[in-house]
Structure 1
Amino acid sequence: MVNLYSVKATSLNIRSSPKVEDSNKITSVPQNQVIVKLGIADDDAWWKILTIKDGQPLEGFVASRFLEPAPRLVQAIGWFKGQFGDKINATISGTPFSLDLLVAIAVQETYYIWGTLYNKLSIDEVLQLCTGDTLDAPRRSAFPENKAELLAYDKGDEMFAIARAALEAVANFVPSFKRVADSSPNKFCRGYGIFQLDLQFFKNNPNYFLQKKWYSFDECLAQCVNELKAAMRRAYGSSKMELTDEEKVYVAIAYNRGSVDFSKKFKQGFRDESGKYYGEYVWEYLQLAKSVP
């Protein structure tokens, strides 16, 4: 597990050696800067650290008394990058996507599940539980709108059994899903995997769902990157080779809702009870992920 901390002082000097001298100050970083503890120097008063400064990794020494454990979300992002970063970077090589974009999507889609379980369960167990979205019509218009529409489709009865079992499994750990599961025997999950592939794709890729391929991070990642590529084509055409941070968010919006309206800025995609939109969350999580080494 990565040792992640935040700067609690107004600012913190990073030095080239573990002592205070006029000549060894490298730079300073602001309050809430994310810091990785690499080790202890001569004593626990000084730590060797790694951080991100101007988009680049930076190592040095800091006085440990000015640090505190990073918030839970930052710790979870550090875990996610440590577990899956190499696989993601290998898969997105040659694309305009970034590790931080994939992190932001995973946080937005299923952090409320894996972010509370990654330090309690095995990775395989966590991945199996990453299911969600129980909305029925009229709040849902995509297939399947409800249990009846799923059952009417080929192998729909088999899929419903899996989808209902998925809901009951995650309900053991997430109270909001328990309330849904207890409220009706007709409720079931529509989103599958840590990046949430929607059940509407059951029509053209039934084996992903019937064979529970979302249990595999590699399968989830491949599906996500393929959908991001399709979303990027819908948003920008087929010749786009680079993406700014803003453009990455627009691709994520198209990934979430199927299309993007640039005139609405980031106020697009799923809107939660607080009134905040999917695109706004992805922007926030993208910037946070970029700060975690």
Structure 2
Amino acid sequence: MDYQRELAFRFPLMRGEDVMLVQLALTAIRTDPPCGTPDGVYGNATRMSLMDFQRTQGLPVDGVVGPRTWIALFQAADEKRAAGSVLKRAAAALPPAGFPLSEAKALETRRWIMSHFGDRLLAGLKGSGLDAELVCAIACKETAPVWLGWTSRLAPDAVLMRCVFDASGDVPGTKRSAFPRNTAEFRDLYGSALTDDLIGEANKTRRLRGYPDAAWVYRGYGLFQYDIQHIENDREFFADKLWYQFDACLDRFKREMSDKLRASNGVLADAVRRYNGSGPMAEQYRDQVLAMSEWLHTAAAEPAGALLA
């Protein structure tokens, strides 16, 4: 709205859309004292707030909105809003304390998964009671912090192939209670051929990450990190490298999450915790996955253009 009339605190009190716009601008600038509720009525609180603004801008301090004050007020309000928008975007680009990804990176993860595997993901989830946002949030927590950096140079299938992570039990200073506790234990039970094959897969990922080769069988396989302990009942997944396939990764994730949901009497939050394990770290895992899932749900509900802003 362009300047139309002089506004001031006088009786009868001035009212109108232009008064409300002035009040909204003063609210955005956060004057001291504040102008109060933007109600479209030019009362004393609005006058006092405007005088504070005029004082800070070197304008005549008369509590009157003339042409100069009008222009200065809305320029300052626009700058304040723009700065707030920049700060909001900057905050979204930084991960909250302890989180593996920022909100912006979580949205990037979802976009990548949905653009390459979205149809298969949605089809695979039908009747499961799970949704794409939760699945993408699990990927955000489990693997995306590493593979997001590969998406510009690797094909989607190649990204899946290299999702071999977690050398706990072999890395000095780490322990693992589930089978296999270390590579030596795995070799004793499954022999050298399979052990060396899986070590080779781990080393392909290590080289991609700039690490030297190591003689370790890694523990997590695929986009959602299906654990090597499942080899006891699902040898095929590891021996035939089924983590190369999105559908196989999703299938194992659904199986595990279905089991956790049954154990949790249908309580999703507890199922997510159980998916990771028990104890404080699993509780943190649950909280972060659910928070990231909420980010993704919120973004999915926005217009398509807003997701790219």
The alignment's TM-score, normalised by the length of structure 1, stands at 0.62
Q: Which protein has the bigger helix share?
A: 2
Residues 249 and 282 of structure 1 are in contact (CA less than 8 Å); yes or no, is this contact kept in structure 2?
Answer: no
What is the one-letter code of the residue matched to 1:139? K
Residues 77 and 289 of structure 1 are in contact (CA less than 8 Å); yes or no, is this contact kept in structure 2?
Answer: yes
CA distance in 2, matches of 1:191, 1:284: 23
SS state at 1:172 partner: helix
CA 1:164–1:285: 2 relative to 1, 3 Å: same
CA distance in 1, matches of 2:165, 2:188: 22
Residues 127 and 216 of structure 1 are in contact (CA less than 8 Å); yes or no, is this contact kept in structure 2?
Answer: yes
Structure 2 counterpart of 1:281: 288
Q: Deviations over 1:16-55 (max 9, x none)?
A: xxxxxxxxxxxxxx9558xxxxxxxxxxxxxxxxxxxxxx
CA distance in 2, matches of 1:92, 1:72: 23
Give the C-alpha shift of residue 157 in structure 1: 1.9
CA distance in 2, matches of 1:204, 1:109: 22
CA distance in 1, matches of 2:191, 2:142: 25
Q: Deviations over 1:127-149 (max 9, x none)?
A: 00011110007620111111221
Structure 1 counterpart of 2:187: 151
- The one of 276, 284, 294 aligned to 1:256: 276
Unpaired segments of 5 or more residues in structure 1? 1-9, 11-29, 34-69, 241-246, 271-276
Structure 2 counterpart of 1:160: 195
**Residue 174 in structure 1 maps to residue 181 in structure 2:** no
Structure 2 counterpart of 1:139: 175
Residues 89 and 99 of structure 1 are in contact (CA less than 8 Å); yes or no, is this contact kept in structure 2?
Answer: yes
CA distance in 1, matches of 2:185, 2:232: 12
Q: Deviations over 1:242-266 (max 9, x none)?
A: xxxxx43321211121xx6xxx7xx
The alignment's TM-score, normalised by the length of structure 2, stands at 0.59
Structure 2 counterpart of 1:215: 244
What is the one-letter code of the residue matched to 2:296? A
CA 1:162–1:112: 2 relative to 1, 3 Å: farther
- The one of 279, 294, 299 aligned to 1:292: 299
SS state at 2:179 partner: coil
Residues 109 and 136 of structure 2 are in contact (CA less than 8 Å); yes or no, is this contact kept in structure 1?
Answer: no
Give the C-alpha shift of residue 268 in structure 1: 4.1
CA distance in 2, matches of 1:77, 1:99: 9
Q: Which protein has the bigger strand share?
A: 1
Structure 2 counterpart of 1:47: none
**Residue 200 in structure 1 maps to residue 229 in structure 2:** yes
CA distance in 2, matches of 1:72, 1:231: 27
**Residue 118 in structure 1 maps to residue 151 in structure 2:** yes
Which structure is richer in relative contact order (CA contacts within 8 A, separation 6 or more)? 1
CA distance in 1, matches of 2:121, 2:114: 9
Equivalenced residues, count: 200
Percent identity of paired positions between Structure 1 and Structure 2: 26
Give the C-alpha shift of residue 93 in structure 1: 1.3
